[in-house]
């Protein structure tokens, strides 16, 4: 993929798929578009984090360190999000997120999300359902992994 940042636009994928063109355009104005270069850290484990990130293009890795060694937690690609927990419960990032190729990201913080919710409650409800679905899916996957690790 080219390292050029194309004209920013939120595509109808992932958590924002149910939103119409006008709603996605309005939502995009509440956040900011970020070019993230290969090997650039977007989020650093242990640092304060209060934003939701939506991947427009590219691929990122979420990693943590255990016993001094890096552990890959997952790959994040187009239409996926990062920061779903911290947008609602700000705190320290539980992982480092690094671009493995040039990526286009859209970021929104908690206050801007609340502003969007006040102006456009119906589209915001679709967005919140999408975020909740992502959180639920990830929790279920984590529960399945823990259950597999502790089978008798």
28-84: pLDDT as tens digits? 999 999 999 999 999 999 999 999 999 999 999 999 999 999 999 999 999 999 999
CA-closest candidate to residue 78, choices 101, 62, 52, 59? 59
pLDDT exceeds 50 at position 117: yes
Contact present, 96 and 82 (Cβ < 8 Å): no
Q: What is the rounded distance in angstroms from the CA atom of residue 129 to the CA atom of residue 48?
A: 25
Note the pTM of the prediction, 2 decimals: 0.87
CB atoms closer than 10 angstroms to residue 62 = 20
Give 63-97 as a DSSP string.
EEEETTEEEEEEEE-TT-EE-HHHHHS-EE-SSEE
Q: What domains appear along the chain, each with residue ranges and CATH number?
A: 18-147 (2.60.120.10)
């Amino acid at each position: 993929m080219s390292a050029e940042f194309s004209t920013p636009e939120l595509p109808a994928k992932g958590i924002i798929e149910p939103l119409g063109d006008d709603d996605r355009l309005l939502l995009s104005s509440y956040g900011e578009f970020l070019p993230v270069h290969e090997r650039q850290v977007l989020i650093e484990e242990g640092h304060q984090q209060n934003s939701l990130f939506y991947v427009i293009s590219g691929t990122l890795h979420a990693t943590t360190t255990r016993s001094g060694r890096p552990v890959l937690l997952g790959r994040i690609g187009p239409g996926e999000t990062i920061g779903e927990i911290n947008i609602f419960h700000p705190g320290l990032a539980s992982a480092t997120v690094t671009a493995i190729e040039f990526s286009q990201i859209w970021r929104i913080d908690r206050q801007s999300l609340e502003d969007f919710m006040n102006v456009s409650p119906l589209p915001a409800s679709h967005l919140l359902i999408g975020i909740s679905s992502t959180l639920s899916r990830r929790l279920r996957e984590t529960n399945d992994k823990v259950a597999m690790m502790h089978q008798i």
